[in-house]
Copies of this chain bind each other. A is one copy, B any other.
Amino acid sequence: MDALTINEAARTTGWSARMLRYIEQVGLVEPARSGSGYRLYGAPELQRLRTLRELLDSRGVGLGEMGFVRRMRDDNGLRAEVDTWFESEARRPADVAPSDWLRFEQDKHERLLAAATQLI
């Protein structure tokens, strides 16, 4: 069983056990559970916890904000509404070279495709 219990995971990631429970509650890292309910952190979760800490520290992001992004990723309706709000930004068409914008979206699409192929 290559999975750590919560205090072991805390020690190797730098979070406190309390915070690991909080991070789970926010929906960011949800470890498997043993039959009796113990949290079991595997290598992927540990990695995610470490990079999460790095991300928050280096970019001044909060857990709540990451939690909101997670919410947008789970809830397509919410994501669509938020995207739409931002995409209807008040600027005249002339302000953005449309080709640039499309280009940007295409690049994004390619980035995601690259990530996908790597994952599969």
Contact = CB atoms under 8 A, between A and B. Distances in A.
A119 B87 contact: yes
Interface in A32-47: 42, 44-45, 47
B86 A52 contact: no
Number of copies: 2
A93 B68 contact: no
Interface in A85-109: 85-90, 93, 98, 101-102, 105-106, 109
A87 B112 contact: yes
A48 B85 contact: yes
A113 B119 contact: no
A116 B120 contact: no
Interface of A: 29, 42, 44-45, 47-48, 51-52, 55, 59, 61-62, 64-66, 68-70, 72-73, 78, 80-90, 93, 98, 101-102, 105-106, 109, 111-113, 115-116, 119-120
Q: Which 9 A-B pairs have the closest CB atoms?
A: A44-B90, A65-B68, A109-B109, A87-B115, A98-B120, A105-B112, A45-B90, A59-B78, A93-B120
